[in-house]
A and B are shown apart, each in its own frame.
Chain A
Amino acid sequence: MIKWFVRGVTRRRLTTRYPRAAEAPPARFRARALLDPDAVDPRSAAACAAVCLPGALGADACGRLRLDAGRCIACGLCVDACWDGSLTIDSGYELATTSRARLVVGEQARASDGSTRPLGGVFRRSLHIRHIDTGSDGAVEQEIAALLSPYYDMHRLGLFFTASPRHADALLVTGPVTRPMEQPLRRTYEAMPEPRVVVAAGTDACSGSFWEAPEVLGGVDRVLPVDVYIPGDPPSPIALLHGLLLAAGRVREVSPPHPEPQPSAAKMSSG
């Protein structure tokens, strides 16, 4: 056991400084597709929409191309098919938002509803999280578990997992909601004390992705009110941290870098 102690105290520090400092994703990292609505050529748009399996790309009511990041699985096929330069890959980490509508780029009415600080930030000092899997592919769970690894170490931010929903502030839901998981999801939510936040982690949980089947109900918001959406297939650990801190009211949402570029580091709130 002394060997473990020595190993434990002699290794160098690995932990990210996020959110105090920005974390740069690898150059090729695919977080989601990005759409520049002003550059869209209709013929290219049709070719792109045809290769979008989850239907993230589609026409809005006015026939213009829109991109729903809540459905995007970042496969990159639309970018390969696109020849007008309107679609690119976003490698950003900070994708979480409190409003489902804000995940849709190119929609006529850019949603400005919804607070960027759920519940006024009552969980700023600590957030206890109950995770529930409602039909995920299993990768999101590993990314969530990675938050406990030395690289991310979520305990330093006052984020904790809790076994009992009775002790939980946040419900972290992964996966499209399958029929057998609907009741367990409702019952877990009902067992939680108020105030409580619901975080949908991953594209599956945000929208149901491409799982259109009688077995699947769709996104978590078909069953419960969702406070924070974290798109991604699966969302990377930093994206999850950003979403959880957003649920705690400690960071702000980050607008997509295109068409109006924004600094990518989340600002710690003064609270």
Chain B
Amino acid sequence: MISLQDRRCEQSAVAAELERIGGRLMMLFMTSSGAARELFAIVRADTSTIRLRSTITGDSYPALTPRVAAAHWFEREIHDLWGVVPEGHPRLEPLVRHGPEQGEIALPANGDVGAEHRGGERLSGPGVFVFPYGPVRSGVFEAAQFLVQTGGEDVAYCAQRLFFKRRGAERRICEVPLELAVLVAERVSGTSSVAHALAFSHAVESLAQTEVPVRAQSIRRVLAELERLYNHLEVAVRECEDASLSVAQAQFAALKERLHRLAAEVVGHRFLRGAVIAGGVRVDLDASAVDLIGDTLRDWERDFKRVLAVLLRTDSFLDRLVSAGPLSARDARDFGCVGPVARGSGIDTDTRRELPYDGYPTFAVARHSDGDAMARMEVRFAEVDTSLALIREALHSLAAGPVHNRVGAFVSDTALGAAESARGETLYWLHAAGADALGFCKLRAASFVNYGIFNRVFDSQVLTDFSFIEHSLGLSPAGCDA
């Protein structure tokens, strides 16, 4: 259960208040009750989580983005969905809406667009062109579009366009019966099913004040860390593919496949779906499953370490990643980045520790100060070790008892649920409507905030590094688009 400090202020004072609080803007969204529209900002300060509310009167309010850069995409989303204008937003183009009105490619018209894009030289003149890459991309990728402005080699500017895949998950979660809604959450970002199911379930459990049995907590940790392992491996596979290291690619892919097979053996699903539900879990780990996980991961770790040791001595791999796609600690902090992307830039953030859940023990959060693609990879490789240790600890501490508590009637009106996916902090904000139904859901996947800095990491980079940089961020368009 996440305890929130409640604060309220005038719509003209939100930006100043956010600046005063400092910290990281986790979410910013709008809801309505009757005719009144309310702006919600959820902020993570040093030791507390603050909910800042402000009633919006009229069809506009002073934009927060010029003073709080992390609000940039949230405010564009609010503008798209509610028609409310954040006055003074540096780049108020459609974000989540796709339609005829957005047929033409729009790049920022002038050189500097305020807080969203500080610095960075803009190119203009003959020979400079915009190369639209996507949404149908070469190879097997999810739908996303990148508008690369280039003179041939240097990337002058790279704008990302997402939300091709928006399926309306937030609304669907509220429409379906509560006990089935977790199935929707699992499929928002199909590779982070456990994290999304956990974040959603945490919010539901918080609404109903349901305790999760200790045994279920341990099982949840095993599943969540298993999911982290294969997602981190996926990034390694992609990076090796980009570096044309076929053997490394094949061996990481084989290691990843072994994890999916383990998941299918234990849970019956290769992406661990159908396990986490509000109140606990649907699958129990019997002694044979515990042994299977332990034995498989022991062999797996040995093989992984061997491949990794060779990879970290392969110059053609290191050359491409070191200094590619740098993200400064200041940008990572200002734009509220999460997950390995933030930790690769030295930011000490991890939901498992900031908003503790499911009985995670204390562990060292892997960080790196370089901020480049290699730093993000090293954070992931270090997290593989952490995850393996956490799985062992969870299997060891598997207490006897039930794995599920019934979720009772809702006793709270609103709740925040959080979980750390392989990509970073995943959030669900829920409003109860009655005793067992949801009236409003706002989800924010890690990729939503991490995609926001996509253009910044391409400042003064070259086109040939595009895929290295993109994959080092390890983003999920499905999660971002929801």
Partner of B268, one of A1, A26, A53, A163: A26
Asked if A73 is at the interface of the complex by the 8 Å CB criterion, the answer is yes
A232 nearest CB neighbor, chain B only = B270
Verify A210–B190 contact, CB threshold 8 A: no
* Contact partners of A29 in chain B: CB under 8 A: 264, 268-269
* Contact partners of A142 in chain B: CB under 8 A: 191, 234
Verify B247–A75 contact, CB threshold 8 A: no
Q: Say whether, besides A133-B165, A149-B256, A25 and B184 are in contact (CB < 8 Å).
A: no
Verify B257–A146 contact, CB threshold 8 A: yes
Asked if B382 is at the interface of the complex by the 8 Å CB criterion, the answer is no
Verify A144–B180 contact, CB threshold 8 A: no
Asked if B253 is at the interface of the complex by the 8 Å CB criterion, the answer is yes
Cα A218 to Cα B136 in complex, Å, equals 19
Partner of B274, one of A30, A134, A214: A30
Q: Say whether, besides A137-B188, A211-B167, A215-B168, A76 and B274 are in contact (CB < 8 Å).
A: yes
Partner of B172, one of A140, A211, A236: A211
Q: Say whether, besides A53-B184, A76-B268, A135 and B165 are in contact (CB < 8 Å).
A: yes
CB of B153 to closest CB in A, whole Å: 21
Verify A213–B310 contact, CB threshold 8 A: no
Partner of B310, one of A7, A14, A53, A233: A7
Residues A47-85 near B (CB distance < 8 A): 51, 53, 73-77
CB of A146 to closest CB in B, whole Å: 6
Verify A135–B248 contact, CB threshold 8 A: no
CB of A254 to closest CB in B, whole Å: 20
Cα A137 to Cα B237 in complex, Å, equals 19
Verify B190–A139 contact, CB threshold 8 A: yes
Q: Say whether, besides A4-B314, A175-B165, A28 and B264 are in contact (CB < 8 Å).
A: yes
Verify A75–B183 contact, CB threshold 8 A: yes
Asked if B429 is at the interface of the complex by the 8 Å CB criterion, the answer is no
CB of B421 to closest CB in A, whole Å: 12
Verify B264–A25 contact, CB threshold 8 A: yes
Complex interface: stretch among A97-105, A177-185, A260-268: A177-185
Per-residue B-contact encoding for A104-145, CB less than 8 Å = 1, 0 else: 000000000000000000000000000111111111111111
Indicate the size class of the contact surface on chain A.
35 or more
* Contact partners of A42 in chain B: CB under 8 A: none
* Contact partners of B164 in chain A: CB under 8 A: 135, 178, 180-181, 184
Verify B142–A136 contact, CB threshold 8 A: yes
Cα A89 to Cα B268 in complex, Å, equals 10
Per-residue A-contact encoding for B231-270, CB less than 8 Å = 1, 0 else: 0001001000000011110110110110011001111111
Cα A89 to Cα B267 in complex, Å, equals 13
Per-residue A-contact encoding for B139-178, CB less than 8 Å = 1, 0 else: 1111100000000000000000001111110011000100
Among A135, A138, A146, chain B packs the most CB atoms within 10 A around the CB of A138
Cα A28 to Cα B314 in complex, Å, equals 40
Among B183, B189, B246, B476, chain A packs the most CB atoms within 10 A around the CB of B183
Partner of B180, one of A51, A74, A161, A214: A51
* Contact partners of B234 in chain A: CB under 8 A: 142
A176 nearest CB neighbor, chain B only = B167
CB of B321 to closest CB in A, whole Å: 17
Verify A11–B269 contact, CB threshold 8 A: no
Cα A179 to Cα B261 in complex, Å, equals 35
User: Can you list 8 contacts pairing A with B, beta carbon distance less than 8 Å?
Assistant: A8-B246, A8-B250, A28-B264, A136-B478, A137-B188, A138-B189, A149-B253, A184-B143
- 17 additional A-B pairs beyond A53-B184, A142-B191, A233-B187, beta carbons within 8 Å, are A1-B314, A25-B264, A73-B183, A74-B269, A75-B273, A133-B165, A134-B165, A135-B164, A138-B190, A138-B191, A150-B251, A150-B253, A181-B135, A181-B143, A188-B136, A210-B172, A215-B167
